[in-house]
Amino acid sequence: MKPRGIVAALAMFFASASFAEVPPPPGTPAPDFSLPDANGKLHRLADWRGKWLVLYFYPKDDTSGCTAEAMAFRDRQKQLTDLKAEVVGVSLDDGASHQAFAERYKLPYTLLTDRDGVVARRYGALSDYRVIRFAKRYSFLIDPDGRVAKSYLKVDADRHADEVIADLKALR
């Protein structure tokens, strides 16, 4: 393919992309959801009412950045629990992938499956290029009343858990 053809193909590819909604800003109600975990059990946002919730979206199980982020939350589980916060990961991967990922890295928190990307879209965390879809690495700190307390739209997978813990301490 000639360079001009490659440029035209890329332009058509990105022009056909369906982009996500705008992430909910701090102070607004967190978008509700009902998603299955690796075992098929449905979870709703209301399940975490009365607790702080770290809702983190990630692109793909078993990739380097996603694994680093997942393990960082795992390794800081006691600190998060002491701050009365729970962690929930969301990606477009299926339940079997989540189950293998959680077992391989001994993740002590829930991973939810958003196969259609509906919830990721509500949180502005969906990248949808029609042939390729994945969740962006976005996180939301949701307060005990179900409102977005903080959004993280530029996440460094290695330092994110520490950033969330610092913000939880400041917000409490």
Dihedral angle computed from the Cα positions of residues 144, 150, 154 and 160, in that order, rounded to the nearest 10 degrees = -50
Task: State how far the Cα of 81 lies from the Cα of 6, in Å rounded to an integer.
Answer: 50
The answer as to whether 45 is a domain residue is yes
This prediction has a pTM of 0.88
Q: Is residue 8 part of a domain?
A: no
Tell me, yes or no, whether 93 lies in a domain.
Answer: yes
What is the secondary structure of 133-156 as a DSSP string?
EEE-S-EEEE-TTSBEEEEESS--
Residue 66: active-site member: yes
What's the average model confidence in pLDDT over 52-61?
A: 98
> What domain range includes position 77?
20-171
Name the burial class of residue 48, with classes exposed (0-12), middle (13-18) and buried (19+) by CB atoms within 10 angstroms of its CB. buried
Residue 126 contacts by C-beta under 8 Å, 6 or more apart in sequence?
20, 117, 120, 133, 134, 135, 136
152 within 8 A of 160, measured Cβ to Cβ = yes
Pick 12 or 142 by higher pLDDT. Answer: 142
Mean pLDDT for the stretch of residues 104-111: 98
Q: How many domains does the chain have?
A: 1
Q: Please check whether residue 140 lies inside any domain of the structure.
A: yes
C-alpha 152/C-alpha 47 separation (Å) is: 22
Residue in 66, 88, 135, 142 annotated catalytic: 66
Per-residue confidence (pLDDT) for residue 166, from 0 to 100: 98
In a domain, 101, yes or no: yes
2-42: pLDDT as tens digits: 556 565 555 554 444 445 489 999 999 999 999 999 999 99
Three-state secondary-structure class, residue 53: strand
- Tell me the percentage of the chain whose pLDDT exceeds 70: 88
pLDDT of residue 129: 86
- Cα distance between residue 42 and residue 35, in whole Å: 5
Side chain identity, residue 65: G
Which helix (H) or strand (E) segment is 126 a member of?
strand 126-128
Residue 10 lies in a domain: no
Confirm whether 126 is domain-assigned. yes
The CATH number for 37's domain is 3.40.30.10
Residue 56 lies in a domain: yes
